[in-house]
Amino acid sequence: MIQAVIFDVDGTLLNSDQAIILALQQVLREEKKMEYPSEELIPVLGMTSENCLNFLGVSDVKRVAEKLTLYVKRNNHMMILYPGIEEMLKKLVGKGIHTGVVTSKTLEEFIVDFMPHGISELFSHIICADDTSRHKPEPDPLLKYVEQTKINPTTTLYVGDTVFDQKCANGAQIDFALAMWGAKQPERTVAKYSLNRPDDLLRIVGLE
């Protein structure tokens, strides 16, 4: 029986794709003098800012990552919770299911982008990019979460939207559920569960 559910943020809880892609396009326009179509940037969504910029061949990554964070912040009015997320979380918490977050956002990005949506108190624990030296798809963020909270990996589910999330869960030996409402390249992602809507999760954990 599932006793703990851990969530990714971008593309899983928060519809932030447009805000991030527009910020990335602006940064790449300034730093590389190149135009990137949105579809070319979808594969990097889910990476940390620095890993994303490294992948895209940007120089002086730390400086540019700070610029990217600023540009995303300017776009955070575009970010909204996916429909049904808050209601689903409240039901999980109300039934005593442990809920948490493992995200590729830095703590600063998490505070700016996610906390204004008013559901942070529904999570028992949060792991951000600052908390580990290696990031998704490596298992370190989930392993750090397990280490700090003492939850049992065999009764835990990780919910995410990218192959990076899936590989992180696999490496930590935690079952993975794919959030189809925000999924990037679902054909590349192997999940134990596919969730078409947030309340599908309630059935999986036995609440409906």
Confidence band of 207 (pLDDT split at 50, 70, 90): confident
Q: Which domain holds residue 133?
A: 4-15+80-204
What does residue 174 show for φ and ψ, rounded to 5 degrees? -120, 135
Alpha-carbon distance 175 to 145, whole Å? 15
Check if the beta carbon of residue 186 is closer than 8 Å to that of residue 193. Answer: no
pLDDT for the residue 50: 94
- For residues 23 and 79, give the distance between their C-alpha atoms in angstroms, rounded to a whole number: 13
Q: Which of 161, 132, 163, 162 is nearest to 145 (CA)?
A: 132
pLDDT at 18: 95
The residues, ordered by sequence, that sit 6+ positions from 3 with a Cβ below 8 Å of its Cβ are 97, 98, 151, 152, 155, 156
C-alpha distances (whole Å) from 12 to each of 1, 18, 24, 102 are: 22, 14, 19, 11
- Asked if residue 104 and residue 69 are part of one domain, the reply reads no
pTM over 0.75: yes
Write the pLDDT tens digit of every residue in 145-192: 999 999 999 999 999 999 999 999 999 999 999 999 999 889 999 999
- Which amino acid does the sequence have at 19? A
Q: Do both 92 and 43 map to the same domain?
A: no
What CATH number is attached to the domain comprising 200? 3.40.50.1000
Q: At residue 33, does pLDDT exceed 90?
A: yes
Answer yes or no: is pLDDT of 112 > 80.
yes
Confidence of residue 29 (pLDDT cuts 50, 70, 90): very high
The DSSP bridge pattern shows strands 156-160 and 4-7 to be parallel
When divided into structural domains, the chain yields a total of 2
pLDDT tens by residue, 40-73: 999 999 899 999 999 999 999 999 999 999 999 9
